[in-house]
Amino acid sequence: MMTMRTIRSLSLLSLMTFAGASTASAAQVQRYIMTKPKPPSCDEALRNPPQAYAAFSVGEPEAYLWFYVTDLKAGDVIASEYYKPTGGLPVAPSGPFDPLERAGNWCFTDSMLRINGGVPAAYPGEWTVKATVNGAPLFTLKFTIGNATVPLPYSPKFHLAV
């Protein structure tokens, strides 16, 4: 069982939207990528999006999950789970962010996924990260840890949820 963690680098956009009380989230993921190095602030990352990567070398020190979600409600809980190519239980940095204090549009930068010297270097292959909002699926992203680092071409709507 995972324990609650502190917010892992959460930024509220300067232009917030407020919605009426509701138990269901109408959250819409706009962008989600694996990247390196750690992305800048939300405002900066939205103006100049971080480079997306499809693959990371086992020699890379780290990778980060970055994503932008709109229409979140106060109290929503976002969580991520990382799975090795062999499956099994989630590995670090899996877990929930703190509940949101306010409704609005939010950027999330997950805790560092330590590759070189960490679990990922010992398990090359296709990794999966799944994100949820209040336990409901938000997106699934696959990336490779292996022999090469592979940047993806820029797309303003890269990895849209379907």
pLDDT in tens, 105-144: 999 999 999 999 999 999 999 999 999 999 999 999 999 9
The neighbour count for residue 128, using CB atoms within 10 Å, is: 15
Task: Write the CB contacts of 20 (distance below 8 Å, at least 6 apart in sequence).
Answer: none
Q: What is the mean pLDDT of residues 91-101?
A: 93
Among 151, 147, 146, smallest CA distance to 85 is for: 146
- Is 60 part of any domain? yes
Residue-range definition of the domain harbouring residue 143:
10-18+25-151
Q: How far apart are CA 84 and CA 96, in angstroms?
A: 18
- Is 38 part of any domain? yes
The neighbour count for residue 71, using CB atoms within 10 Å, is: 16
For 147-157, write each residue's pLDDT tens digit.
Answer: 877 777 655 44
Q: How far apart are CA 157 and CA 106, in angstroms?
A: 16
* E strand or H helix that includes residue 121: helix 119-122
Q: How far apart are CA 28 and CA 162, in angstroms?
A: 10
pLDDT of the residue at 162 = 34
CATH of the domain at 78: 2.60.40.1930
- Is 156 part of any domain? no
* pLDDT at 10 exceeding the cut of 90: no
pLDDT of the residue at 17 = 32
Is the pTM higher than 0.85? The answer reads: no
Q: Of the ranges 19-23, 35-39, 128-132, which one carries the lowest mean pLDDT score?
A: 19-23
Q: How many domains does the chain have?
A: 1
Q: What is the mean pLDDT of residues 76-90?
A: 93
* pLDDT at 98 exceeding the cut of 80: yes
- Is 162 part of any domain? no
- Is 159 part of any domain? no
* pLDDT at 8 exceeding the cut of 80: no
Q: How far apart are CA 101 and CA 20, in angstroms?
A: 14
The neighbour count for residue 13, using CB atoms within 10 Å, is: 15
pLDDT of the residue at 24 = 56
pLDDT of the residue at 146 = 93
